[in-house]
Amino acid sequence: MLSNELKTKIHQSFKNLKENMNGFITRQAQNKMIAEISKTLSGEYKNSHNILCVEAPTGIGKTFAYLLGSIHIAKANKKKLIISSANVALQEQLFFKDIPQAQQYCCVDFEYTLIKGRSRYVCIRNLINICEDNKNDNPLFESMPLFDKPPEEYPLEQLSKMLYNYSTKKWNGEIDDLIPTTNHSIWQQIACNRFTCTVKNCEFYKDCAFFKTRQKITKADVIVANHDLVLADLSTGNTVLPDVSKSIFIFDEAHHLNSKALSHFSLTTSTEFIKTSVKQTKEVSETLCKISKQNIPNINIKQIDNYITDLIQLLEQLKFNENIYLFNQGVIDEPIKQISRNILTLIEIIQTKFTLLKEFWSDYLKKTVINKSIHGPINNMAGQCEQHLLSIIALFSSFLQIDEPNKIPNSRWIKKSILTTSKRTNYLLNSAQTDISENLDHLIWSKASGAILTSATLTSLGSFERLNKQLGLLRNENQYLRLPSPFMFNQVDLIIAKLKASPTQVYEHTQETTLQLLKRLDSDEGSLVLFTSNKQMQIVANLIDKKLNCTLFIQGEYPKKNILKKHINLRKQGKGSIIFGLDSFSEGIDLKGNNLTHVIITKLRFSVPTSPIDRTLATYLKSQNRNPFMEISLPDASLKLIQACGRLIRTETDVGKITIFDNRLISKFYGKLLLNALPNYNIIIE
Ligand SMILES: Nc1ncnc2c1ncn2[C@@H]1O[C@H](COP(=O)(O)OP(=O)(O)OP(=O)(O)O)[C@@H](O)[C@H]1O
Ligand code: SF4
């Protein structure tokens, strides 16, 4: 029950916001959202979990609503508030803009912190080791066999600069703040990694970027995370975030949770990776044993090589389509299964032996003094070996698992690629869950102290059913709310432009889009043009850039936040500014007033089921006499259209228009369904 004391605090905070926030407008929907969140989290609804799914239209101010509605309850019940957003850019927006602003009005003290995935922080030990190793003429490990390409020469100057900047506190150790950025393969070698990190045994532990952030979590009341991090942490033992049962989760942009979870529970390995991982394990085991004077365990490389050769012979006979072979309904052919079982058994034996050896080594290090330049690289390689063996075991276990009848099968497929140096064919084995509802229930819904899922697009064509099915929520066990918008959408024109070409005629549509933009873009206005393909965006930008009388920003030429800043600055000076963007500009962007008065959508975003997971799901639906277009592609397109249109009106006084260059809205049967799912814009068909 919501106590009177808590009620008063929530009211007081809201009053503060109302009286002190510049441009505050009372919005019934926002008030309702605060009230329902606080009721749900305080257990006011009998026979219901403390879970609320709330669909709140774009721009109503969800962030303030969930903060005000939950922070008092979390604090009073000694629970941590974990706010999870879809990506790092949105996390930073919450951390640097929204939460500090909301904090001013909340009548409760709270500390907040931001945490990203472990691999976004530098491992300072690895950075130091690499800088030192590069100077060393006689490195401990001759080869780094896991690389397809020979390891690039490390840009020692750049790494030393990073080290200097970190030790002088000019750089915080996060990849997102690294200037200049470094390439992915180099970053992988110096990034923090669960398997190579020795935690408190590391001499840099106290100065470690990741652990310093993690310590802040213990003190913080509010933790700003992202969906990937939450899923990664909860499925690997909940060691980074606070205990799930002592946490209240707010999933902002919750419509991304399903796709994030699907990719999270997807496993992969490859024939070359297995061979080289075993070789590396043997090499590291021998080094460990020589130093500690142990008997070297027998790691049967020949046997693994033979099995892999047999497996490759079978895979070569499959009929690949664009380098992918998808097993029908996830069922693997028996001969491939047999060899996979043999590989799994052998890898499990190697892994058991290696774990024992690693434990022995760890004890040995406690008793024996060994130069860090020797044990540092060994520990790193040993951690990597363990990680690789476990990932191979996980893949084969899932690859061989028998799917339950009457459930959507797992998706299993093989992908071919050619290795850069040896030119050999590498076969990637993949296994992915197509239904993650039970995992989410097990990891979050059944354990968390409370959860709020919110977004402007939670329902699909009017119902929460799809969300429930995907995420494993049950209608009669949770609370659901759909809020009306406070904005007068009927005063906004949504123009379906008259174009001859359909977006499926790519060349013609691109040419016509260019002409239409030149005709319709006003060089005194703030405009956002949304594309679904980078190629089309670049072609159109090249064709029109010089013909515009105002600045054009193209996604990718600067970081997103810099583009927005520059755009707002130009608008402040009364100058026109146009942004060309892809998907990430169609969500979360908050450009108020005359910063944005024209949104142009060049094409509807239909996700064609091309990925193996989508194809497995589509085949399954067809086998059940269901229609994948109506159940997957159309709801996804609808959601993206609502989000894209939602960039325009952000306050009660905003005005402007939306123009769409996709004539399928009129010519196809589904056009009406898409238009009906939008707010009640004034639709003009040219
Ligand atoms: N009651 C209010 N009156 C006026 N402005 C408000 C109010 N509440 C929030 N805002 C402002 O409205 C803007 C939109 O808020 P927020 O980013 O939380 O939107 P949202 O509802 O999450 O929209 P979207 O789903 O499009 O991201 C912010 O700039 C915020 O400061
Ligand atoms: S504590 Fe772990 S991540 Fe941090 S520097 Fe040491 S080994 Fe690297």
Q: How far is the CA of 245 from the centre of ligand 1 (A)?
A: 30
Q: Which CATH superfamily groups domain 489-685? A: P-loop containing nucleotide triphosphate hydrolases (3.40.50.300)
Give the residue numbers of the binding site.
123, 197, 202, 208
Distance CA 317, CA 647 (A): 50
pLDDT > 70? residue 654 = yes
pLDDT score recorded for residue 47: 81
Ligand 2 neighbourhood includes 119 CB (under 6 angstroms):
no
DSSP state of 436: -
Ligand nearest the Cα of residue 83 is 1
Provide the CA 16 distance to its chain's centre, in angstroms. Answer: 35
Burial label for 23, CB within 10 Å (0-12, 13-18, 19+), is: exposed
Q: How far is the CA of 387 from the centre of ligand 2 (A)?
A: 16
Amino acid at site 56: A
**Residue keyed to tokens 């970190």:** 166
Segment 331-335 shows an average pLDDT of 93
pLDDT score recorded for residue 252: 95
- Percent of the chain having pLDDT more than 90? 60
Largest CA distance in the chain: 83
Lowest average pLDDT, out of 6-10, 333-337, 566-570, goes to: 6-10
Q: Write out pLDDT tens, residues 494-513.
A: 999 999 999 989 999 999 99
Q: How far is the CA of 3 from the centre of ligand 1 (A)?
A: 28
Query: Using CA positions, which residue lies closest to atom 17 of ligand 1?
Result: 61
DSSP state of 516: H
Atom of ligand 1 nearest to the CA of 63: 18
pLDDT score recorded for residue 198: 82
Query: Using CA positions, which residue lies closest to atom 29 of ligand 1?
Result: 590
> 368 is written with which tokens?
């024996």
Ligand 2 neighbourhood includes 204 CB (under 6 angstroms):
yes
pLDDT score recorded for residue 133: 66
What's the sign of the alpha-carbon dihedral 437, 440, 443, 444? negative
Query: Using CA positions, which residue lies closest to atom 24 of ligand 1?
Result: 58
* Residues 6+ away with beta carbon under 8 Å from 201: none
Please say whether the beta carbons of 661 and 513 come within 8 A.
Answer: yes
Atom of ligand 2 nearest to the CA of 125: 5
Provide the CA 450 distance to its chain's centre, in angstroms. Answer: 22
pLDDT class of 143 with cuts at 50, 70, 90: very low
Ligand nearest the Cα of residue 123 is 2
Ligand nearest the Cα of residue 94 is 1
Beta-strand (E) ranges in 535-574?
551-554
Distances (CA, A) of 410 to 263, 434, 677: 13, 5, 32
Q: How far is the CA of 204 from the centre of ligand 2 (A)?
A: 6
Ligand 2 neighbourhood includes 211 CB (under 6 angstroms):
yes
- Percent of the chain having pLDDT more than 70? 96
The whole-chain average pLDDT of the chain stands at: 89
Ligand nearest the Cα of residue 212 is 2
Segment 635-641 shows an average pLDDT of 91
Query: Using CA positions, which residue lies closest to atom 8 of ligand 2?
Result: 123
Please say whether the beta carbons of 548 and 554 come within 8 A.
Answer: no
- Angle CA(202)–CA(92)–CA(533) in degrees, nearest 5? 110
Query: Using CA positions, which residue lies closest to atom 28 of ligand 1?
Result: 61
Ligand 1 neighbourhood includes 650 CB (under 6 angstroms):
yes
Q: How far is the CA of 595 from the centre of ligand 2 (A)?
A: 44
Distances (CA, A) of 173 to 96, 125, 165: 18, 12, 9
Query: 429 forms bridges with which residues in the sheet?
Result: 269, 414
> 215 is written with which tokens?
């310590």
Lowest average pLDDT, out of 35-39, 127-131, 432-436, goes to: 127-131
Ligand nearest the Cα of residue 24 is 1
Q: Write out pLDDT tens, residues 80-137.
A: 999 999 988 789 889 988 899 889 888 889 999 999 988 899 999 988 888 876 555 4
Of 272, 273, 218, the closest CA to residue 387 belongs to: 273
Give the residue numbers of the binding site for [4Fe-4S] cluster.
123, 197, 202, 208
Distance CA 457, CA 56 (A): 8
**Residue keyed to tokens 């205990």:** 243
Q: Write out pLDDT tens, residues 243-276.
A: 999 999 999 999 999 989 998 888 999 999 999 8
Ligand 1 neighbourhood includes 64 CB (under 6 angstroms):
yes
Please say whether the beta carbons of 450 and 41 come within 8 A.
Answer: yes
Q: How far is the CA of 497 from the centre of ligand 1 (A)?
A: 30
Q: How far is the CA of 329 from the centre of ligand 2 (A)?
A: 43
pLDDT score recorded for residue 73: 94
Query: Using CA positions, which residue lies closest to atom 4 of ligand 2?
Result: 208
Ligand 2 neighbourhood includes 123 CB (under 6 angstroms):
yes
Which ranges of 77-155 does DSSP label H, i.e. alpha helix?
88-93, 99-105, 124-135
- Among 64, 84, 481, 642, which residue has the most ligand 1 atoms within 8 Å of its CB, making it the best to mutate? 64
Tell me which H or E stretch contains 334. helix 334-367
Segment 146-152 shows an average pLDDT of 45
Whether cis (ω within 30° of 0) applies to the bond prior to 180 is yes
> 194 is written with which tokens?
């669960």
Distance CA 320, CA 305 (A): 23
Q: How far is the CA of 209 from the centre of ligand 2 (A)?
A: 8
**β-bridge pairing 324-326 and 411-418:** antiparallel
Amino acid at site 453: L
pLDDT class of 150 with cuts at 50, 70, 90: very low
Ligand 1 neighbourhood includes 586 CB (under 6 angstroms):
no
> 302 is written with which tokens?
């020949």
Q: How far is the CA of 126 from the centre of ligand 2 (A)?
A: 8
Q: Write out pLDDT tens, residues 294-330.
A: 888 888 888 999 999 999 999 999 999 889 999 998 9
Ligand nearest the Cα of residue 250 is 1
Of 106, 161, 606, 143, the closest CA to residue 377 belongs to: 143
Q: How far is the CA of 202 from the centre of ligand 2 (A)?
A: 6
Ligand 1 neighbourhood includes 61 CB (under 6 angstroms):
yes
Q: How far is the CA of 206 from the centre of ligand 2 (A)?
A: 9
Q: How far is the CA of 81 from the centre of ligand 1 (A)?
A: 20
pLDDT class of 154 with cuts at 50, 70, 90: low
Architecture of domain 4-116+214-262+437-482 in this structure: 3-Layer(aba) Sandwich (3.40)
pLDDT class of 235 with cuts at 50, 70, 90: confident
Atom of ligand 1 nearest to the CA of 30: 1
Burial label for 318, CB within 10 Å (0-12, 13-18, 19+), is: middle
**β-bridge pairing 425-432 and 266-270:** antiparallel
Ligand 2 neighbourhood includes 121 CB (under 6 angstroms):
no
Atom of ligand 1 nearest to the CA of 98: 31
- Please tell me which residue, 306 or 156, carries the higher pLDDT value: 306
Please say whether the beta carbons of 342 and 307 come within 8 A.
Answer: yes
Ligand 2 neighbourhood includes 125 CB (under 6 angstroms):
yes
Ligand 1 neighbourhood includes 30 CB (under 6 angstroms):
yes
What's the sign of the alpha-carbon dihedral 278, 283, 289, 292? negative
* Residues 6+ away with beta carbon under 8 Å from 410: 330, 398, 401, 403, 431, 432, 433, 434, 616
Segment 429-440 shows an average pLDDT of 92
Distance CA 676, CA 638 (A): 10
| Residue 607: other Cβ atoms inside 10 A | 16
Distance CA 297, CA 303 (A): 15
What does the CA dihedral 50, 56, 60, 61 come to, rounded to 10 degrees? 30
What pTM, to 2 d.p., does this model score? 0.83
pLDDT score recorded for residue 575: 95
Of 223, 120, 227, 216, the closest CA to residue 177 belongs to: 120
Q: Write out pLDDT tens, residues 516-560.
A: 999 999 999 999 999 999 999 999 999 998 888 899 999 988 878
Q: How far is the CA of 30 from the centre of ligand 1 (A)?
A: 9
pLDDT score recorded for residue 608: 65
